């Protein structure tokens, strides 16, 4: 057995190790219309609409990470689906004891009007469940939370979404925002300046400052809007 043969054999084993699965339950490519999910992220398109959806991607079936909602309204932009998968996958790694995240409405396959919503028309908006005490979520829908708001788990989930780099803003009830701001600053996770940038101190429904903003009727879920593929704001 000569040296050249040994080097060739070692190279083959190294290549197999590099491209083999690294984790049990590793996320497989998400396909939509025969293309890998996320392929639309680099199409050269400029901007996106918050009124209609082109090349929508269906939310995949990943029950370890999240519970899917209505099959007719689980289509989003590539950036939205990427953000949901990445954030919920991170939560599974960070807090394996936590419930899978409950996903509500995103958009119809081609976008457009959706009953019960002012937005959710262009695949850039999604309703995301929030955790009650013990990092629990109801797989059948959203539960109104007050004192049983799990501030640790919910900050972890919001942080996971922010880390994707795709988030434009998040809508949430002002009481939950105050709890999150108090927790992150007291625990030393954010400075006061960082907290002010993420959680505005005086949130109002019309206020566009901050990332996590108050909106009425968002005490049982959060509303996540993502940026377009070029980093611009949908509809603006």
The answer to whether residue 201 scores a pLDDT higher than 80 is no
Can you give the pLDDT at residue 188?
A: 97
Among candidate residues 117, 105, 99, 114, the one with its CA nearest the CA of residue 80: 105
Q: Domains along the chain?
A: 66-236 (3.30.1380.10)
Which residues have C-beta within 8 Å of that of residue 170, sequence separation ≥ 6? 158, 161, 211, 212, 213, 222, 223, 224, 225
pLDDT mean over 94-113: 94
pLDDT category, 118, cuts 50, 70, 90?
confident
Can you give the pLDDT at residue 210?
A: 86
The answer to whether residue 14 scores a pLDDT higher than 60 is no
Can you give the pLDDT at residue 94?
A: 97
CA 158, 162, 163, 168 torsion: positive or negative? Answer: positive
Can you give the pLDDT at residue 139?
A: 93
Q: Considering the entire predicted model, what is its pTM?
A: 0.78
């Amino acid at each position: 057995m000569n040296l050249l043969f040994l080097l060739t054999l070692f190279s083959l084993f190294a290549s197999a190790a590099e491209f083999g699965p690294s984790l049990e339950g590793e996320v497989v490519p998400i396909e939509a219309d025969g293309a890998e999910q996320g392929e639309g992220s680099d199409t050269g398109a400029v901007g996106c609409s918050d009124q209609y959806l082109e090349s929508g991607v269906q939310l995949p079936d990943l029950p370890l990470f999240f519970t899917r909602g209505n099959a007719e309204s689980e289509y989003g932009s590539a950036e939205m689906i990427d953000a949901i998968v990445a954030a919920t996958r991170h939560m599974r790694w960070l807090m394996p004891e936590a419930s899978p995240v409950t996903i509500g409405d995103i958009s119809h396959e081609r976008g457009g009007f959706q009953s019960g919503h002012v937005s959710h028309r262009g695949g850039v908006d999604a309703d995301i469940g929030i955790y009650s005490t013990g990092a629990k979520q109801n797989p059948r829908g959203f539960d109104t939370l007050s004192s049983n708001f799990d501030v640790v788990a919910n900050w972890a989930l919001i942080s996971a979404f922010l880390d994707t780099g795709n988030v434009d803003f998040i809508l949430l009830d002002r009481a939950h925002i105050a709890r999150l701001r108090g927790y992150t600053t007291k625990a030393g996770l954010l400075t006061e300046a960082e907290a002010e940038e993420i959680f505005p101190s005086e949130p109002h429904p019309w206020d566009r400052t901050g990332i996590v903003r108050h909106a009425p009727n968002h005490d049982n879920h959060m509303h996540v809007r993502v940026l377009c593929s070029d980093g611009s704001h949908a509809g603006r």
